[in-house]
Every structure is written in structure tokens, then in C-alpha cells.
A and B are shown apart, each in its own frame.
Chain A
């Protein structure tokens, strides 16, 4: 069974559109994350979320918003897409403790035209 899954795997859309990426984990973890990986493979944390708090990287535009319907899901909504949003977006999960590793989803390649 897939531990962390994301849909869709590829997303091609036009500037100005609003889109969502879904993420689900079946590991029973209490914390989920969204990362953005640019064309140079730099991986940047966007959000960290558990049932207690949402930690937002202050460099992330407010066009991006995480939505968690329950503990196993953390979706990423993006409004008014821009060319610079093109990247691979990874969902991840872990236990909320510094000595636990992260489990990553397969990624969603977003292309904004």
C-alpha cells in the first residue's frame, strides 16, 4: 500500500487559474508537510500542519493555502497561478518529533503556461 499519495501526478494549467493538489497518508502520522522543489532541485518547506498548529514559511505567497479535512489528508490550494509557481510539489508526513524521518509522496509536477 502506498504510504503517502498525491494526485494528480502532473498538472498543466494556465496563468490565473486556481488549482488544488491532494495528499493522503496512511501511516497514522500526526504531521503533514508541503514542499516545493524548483528546477535546481532545491527543496523548500512551505507548510507544516498538525492538529495543533499550522506553521507557514513566511516566504510563501498567501495565494497558497493548505486545507486539512482530517488527520490523514492535507491538500494544497493555489489561487491565481503564476509562471513562477511551476515546480514539483511534494507532500510528506512524519511523527511530530525531531528524531523522526519524513515520508514523501511521489510529487506533483505543476506547469503553468
Chain B
């Protein structure tokens, strides 16, 4: 069954602005992962955050996790046109190591 749900479905911003995407899930998780998919390409892993972590950074990316609200957010600061892509959250739960993906947020960054 589908676990993560991203919000918004689509986001359009200007270069230099920050982009925030949210992911909500239904059951308790071991970790939550964010992936990027450029048009016509495979998914690329961005960040993994474990259930006992609250925040992680990687370059211009910041991920937060609130297990009490069963939600996560991905912040891309100072966005660039090259950040244009779909962003997916994926959750790993229970004894499984297989992530369950949401439907993604489509981000367009206008130059």
C-alpha cells in the first residue's frame, strides 16, 4: 500500500527562491528517504533520515522529520533551474528494507 504522500503535487518558483516539499505517511517508520527524478531519467537518492533523527543537511538540502506528526519536509535553498525535477519521499517500515514511494512533487524552477 502507498505510504508517503507528497504535497504539493506541483510547485513553480523563480531561481533563487527556496522550495519546500512535504511528505506525510501513515504508519511508523524506520527511515524516510528523499529522491530526485529528472525528466526521462531514473531516481537519484538525496538524503536518508532515520526515525530517531529530526534534521539532516546536505549542501542546499535540508530535511526534517516529525514522527509525532508522521511528516517530513525537504527544503531546497537558493534554487537553481537545474533543480527542476520530481521529488519523491520513500518510507521504510517494519522489518522490510524495501522503500515505499509516494507520487512525488513536480518542481519547476524558472531561470
Complex contact A103–B96 (CB within 8 A): no
Contact-residue bracket for chain A? 20 to 34
Q: Which of B30, B35, B42, B104 contacts A98 (CB 8 A)?
A: B30
Contacts of B101 in A (CB 8 A): 35, 42-44
Q: How many A-B residue pairs have CB under 8 A?
A: 56
Size of interface on B: residues with Cβ below 8 Å to A:
26
With A and B bound together, what is the CA distance between A98 and B106 in angstroms?
26
Query: Which residues of B are found within 8 Å of A96, using beta-carbon distances?
Result: 97
Given contacts A99-B31, A99-B48, A101-B33, contact A42 B97 (CB under 8 A): no
List A residues at the B interface (Cβ < 8 Å): 4, 31, 33, 35, 40-45, 48, 55, 90, 92, 94, 96-107
**B69-111 interface code vs A (CB 8 A; 1 in, 0 out):** 0000000000000000010100010001111110110100000
